[in-house]
Amino acid sequence: MFHSSTMPRPRKRPRPEEASISRHDEAKFLDVRIFLVERKMGSSRRTFLTQLARSKGFIVEDILSDAVTHVVSEDSQASSLWMWLKGCALRNLSMMHVLDICWFTDSMREGRPVTVETRHLIQEALPEVATPTPVATVSQYACQRRTTIENNNRIFTDAFEVLAESYEFNEIDGPCLAFRRAASVLKSLPWAVHCLRATQDLPCLGEHTNAVIEEILQCGRSFEVEKILADERYQTLKLFTSVFGVGPKTAEKWYRRGMRSFSDILAEPSIHLNRMQQSGFLHYRDISRAVSKAEAWALGNIIDEAVRAITPDAILALTGGFRRGKEFGHDVDFIVSTPEVGREDSLLINIIEILENQGILLFCEHQTSTFDMSKLPSHRFEAMDHYAKCFLIVRLKGSLVEGGLQMGEEDKRDWRAVRVDLVSPPMDRYAFTLLGWTGSRQFERDLRRFARSERRMLLDNHALYDKTKKEFLAAKTEKDIFAHLGLEYIEPWQRNA
Ligand code: CTP
Ligand code: MN
Ligand code: MN
């Protein structure tokens, strides 16, 4: 679960004689205080260069603090160096020289600190890519943050997600939500947190989350998280809920009945599995393996072909995690619709028929539409929307996938089972459905929370309602919805909150 290679090393306190210049060398250049960045340089080279510089009368600091004037790095990747520096919460960073090792070698050769020239500087890359959001402006709402799939704080967010899940299993909503929000804030940062100070102005972080961050910074891991991961109840619920069709309630029920493994469940005659769960067990190995982007595209082609055969003017869109640019997902999500309002239900049924005739439908649960505009707005948010939809397991042939299937080494089959979701809203509801199904879940939660708390509006997958004006706000595109909410548009690939 933790990636040991990215774990920060526990910081050692420097021994006093190392702390500044050693007694035998005399500091000659008092207004230059060098810090050598160990990343890419390595610790033995750093020690060697430190001793060399000190023997020539340079002051070399062991710790990066605001006292440092010259930061020297062998890291040629400016953006990653700057990200790291920004994570160190320095007040003086803008005053420091951030220099390539060539400044250091020039200075050693000359026996004095040479004047800093442009060629020595490691410049911060183009603002668009590298300027981190100023800490003070990070919003408490995920829909006001831009979160790509790059997560610079995975060691913390992985830990928070375990804690959130554990609270969820115990139905303790407050802390569960708090850890989810904290994880989401850290995911949005373009820099990695290197010390607790760097988090002090961030929203959604509290005493408990900070304690976990501090522990991970110091020890590389959180003991509270390790305890959960080793806990039998947590492990069992995690295992059971990994089966398609098994939610926390069912998992809990089985656990209380003494079930601890899949074979316990399958051997227990009094446990009745529904159709979804039966298929979940039957295809467990395949559908618990991540779906790749190439596999998602291949499925897109299959569905597209089916849709074209039914009606040429139908609309098909990839949504869910793949629309957000994820490389892997647990399923593939599509929206299908047609300009003919009222045709949505039969469109889905037609698609299912075609897949069935092709012999590639391994499982299908179809839910007909219960959508009724006159029952809106809905004041309590329901997990499911009311559109026609189906949850499928589709047989995908490897020959259709560019680069082949995502398979284990030992598996020599030329097909795999993949989970696919299709939802079919009426065309005039398309924008709301697309926004709702693109996710992430945290992004959606915060969109609705923002609408309610900041705008007195109700948003769900069906509509946006303005409580002040007592009217529905129409939208053709996602941009229209963001505009109604007075939010800057956030691209799908920036919604990985
Ligand atoms: N969703 C929804 N109503 C449902 C099912 C899903 O609104 N009945 C939305 C969820 O809010 C989610 C999105 O559809 O944001 C996609 O759901 P899901 O496939 O579970 O998650 P992904 O973000 O696609 O993650 P993964 O890559 O693991 O599939
Ligand atoms: Mn998905
Ligand atoms: Mn899905």
Domain assignment of residue 51, yes or no = yes
Domain assignment of residue 368, yes or no = yes
With contact defined as beta carbons under 8 Å apart, do 38 and 50 qualify?
no
Residue 52 phi/psi, 5-degree rounding, is -60, -50
With contact defined as beta carbons under 8 Å apart, do 276 and 245 qualify?
yes
Q: Which ligand is nearest to the CA of 332?
A: 2
Q: Which ligand is nearest to the CA of 321?
A: 1
Q: CATH code at 315? A: 3.30.460.10
How much distance in Å is there from the Cα of 440 to the middle of ligand 1?
A: 7
Same domain flag for 310 and 346: yes
Q: CATH code at 80? A: 3.40.50.10190
For residue 166, the enclosing domain spans 135-228
| Residues having CB within 6 Å of any atom of ligand 1 | 320-321, 326, 329-331, 333, 384-385, 436-437, 439-441, 444, 461
Which atom of ligand 1 sits closest to the CA of residue 332?
29
DSSP per-residue letters across 313-374: T-EEEEEHHHHTT-SEESSEEEEEE-SSTT-HHHHHHHHHHHHHHTT-EEEEEEE-----GG
Mutation test residue for ligand 1: of 184, 323, 441, the one with most atoms within 8 Å of CB: 441
pLDDT at 135 (0 to 100): 44
Which atom of ligand 1 sits closest to the CA of residue 291?
27
Q: CATH code at 462? A: 3.30.210.10
Same domain flag for 166 and 187: yes
Q: Whose CA is nearest to atom 27 of ligand 1?
A: 329
Same domain flag for 302 and 235: no
Which atom of ligand 1 sits closest to the CA of residue 443?
15
Domain assignment of residue 7, yes or no = no
Same domain flag for 112 and 166: no
Domain assignment of residue 8, yes or no = no
pLDDT at 17 (0 to 100): 42
pLDDT at 381 (0 to 100): 66
3-state secondary structure of 433: helix
Same domain flag for 387 and 321: yes
Same domain flag for 414 and 454: no
How much distance in Å is there from the Cα of 438 to the middle of ligand 1?
A: 7
Q: Which ligand is nearest to the CA of 320?
A: 1
How much distance in Å is there from the Cα of 333 to the middle of ligand 1?
A: 7
Mutation test residue for ligand 1: of 184, 326, 331, the one with most atoms within 8 Å of CB: 331
Domain assignment of residue 5, yes or no = no
| 75 given a catalytic annotation | no
pLDDT at 14 (0 to 100): 45
Does this model's pTM top 0.85? no
How much distance in Å is there from the Cα of 179 to the middle of ligand 3?
A: 23
Q: CATH code at 193? A: 1.10.150.110
The active-site residue out of 75, 331, 385, 446 is: 331
Residues of the chain with pLDDT under 50: 1-21, 129-136
CA distance 38 to 46: 6
| 333 given a catalytic annotation | yes
Which atom of ligand 1 sits closest to the CA of residue 320?
24
CA distance 337 to 317: 9
Which atom of ligand 1 sits closest to the CA of residue 461?
7
How much distance in Å is there from the Cα of 45 to the middle of ligand 2?
A: 47
Neighbours of 346 (CB within 10 A): 14
Number of domains into which the chain is organized = 5
